[in-house]
Amino acid sequence: MQGTGKFCVFIAAFIFICPICHCLLDTVTGLLGGSNNNGNTDNENVEKNTGGSTASTACSPPEGYTDNIDGFSYRDYGETLNYWKAMSTCHKNRARLPLFKGEAMYNTIKGILRNLSYTVGLLANVNETRAQAIPANEALRFLKWNDGTTPLDLQFMTETIIFDEGEMCMTIFKDKHLSDTPCRNRTHTFCQFPCADEGKEQRNQW
């Protein structure tokens, strides 16, 4: 019984404390004016992607990647990815000082929900593989813009969406048969570590 109590405390700490600490760290680095993994300040990336506006948290695509292929834009999907990558370094616009805009608490809540869903998956032993395949229509319930609407092109998709917790990736496949080689269809793979050719991962962060 004592061992069960310790386990519950550990799970609670994982779900609630980690996102809170993460947001506190974001706030401190925001006050100090941090930089992202590419060596650029967050304002520089925002200006490059949005024409100078700091209202968007969109990330720059990796060097050599086209901004828009087959109607899919890394830039346009920046806000959608906020749900899937709430705690990702990609979407830290530290210059916005999230503490004063309420974003820190918002991201903390999203992080708690994400950790909770991941923990439930582990406890239910349904996360045997890193990538979980879910029907596109189910995933669409969570893919929303900030105003609550679903991106127009996603409304007509019938593909399988893969959410990879380990790499913080979301892959949308035009062909379900590509599910065993997600990097082959890199146009529709949104990862913290983008995919390169021939199914190999390219360890360049956004």
DSSP states along 61-78? PPTT--SEETTEETTTTH
In the chain, the N- to C-terminal Cα span, in Å, equals 45
Residue 205 falls inside a structural domain: no
pLDDT in tens, 14-55: 656 655 555 555 545 444 443 333 333 333 333 333 333 333
Residue 160 falls inside a structural domain: yes
Residue 111 falls inside a structural domain: yes
By the 10 Å C-beta count (0-12 exposed, 13-18 middle, 19+ buried), 170 is classed as buried
Angle (CA) 193-96-109 rounded to 5° is: 70
Residue 158 falls inside a structural domain: yes
Identify the pLDDT of residue 3: 61
| Contact call for residues 84 and 154 (beta carbons, < 8 A) | no
Q: Determine the residue type at 130.
A: R
Identify the pLDDT of residue 23: 54
Question: Which residues, other chains included, contact 196 with Cβ-Cβ below 8 Å and sequence gap of 6+?
Answer: 183, 186, 202
The residue behind tokens 């092109």 is: 153
CA 136 to CA 2: how far, in whole Å? 42
Residue 204 falls inside a structural domain: no
- Stretches where the chain sits below pLDDT 70 are 1-206
Residue 90 falls inside a structural domain: yes
Single pTM value for the model? 0.19
Its sign, for the CA torsion 94, 99, 101, 102, is: positive
Residue 206 falls inside a structural domain: no
CA 153 to CA 70: how far, in whole Å? 11
Angle (CA) 55-149-175 rounded to 5° is: 105
Residue 124's domain comprises 2-199
What's the total number of domains in the chain?
1
CA 20 to CA 62: how far, in whole Å? 29
Identify the pLDDT of residue 85: 39
pLDDT in tens, 89-106: 333 333 333 333 454 555
CA 41 to CA 29: how far, in whole Å? 12
- H helix runs in the chain, sequence order: 2-12, 18-32, 42-50, 78-84, 98-101, 103-123, 136-139
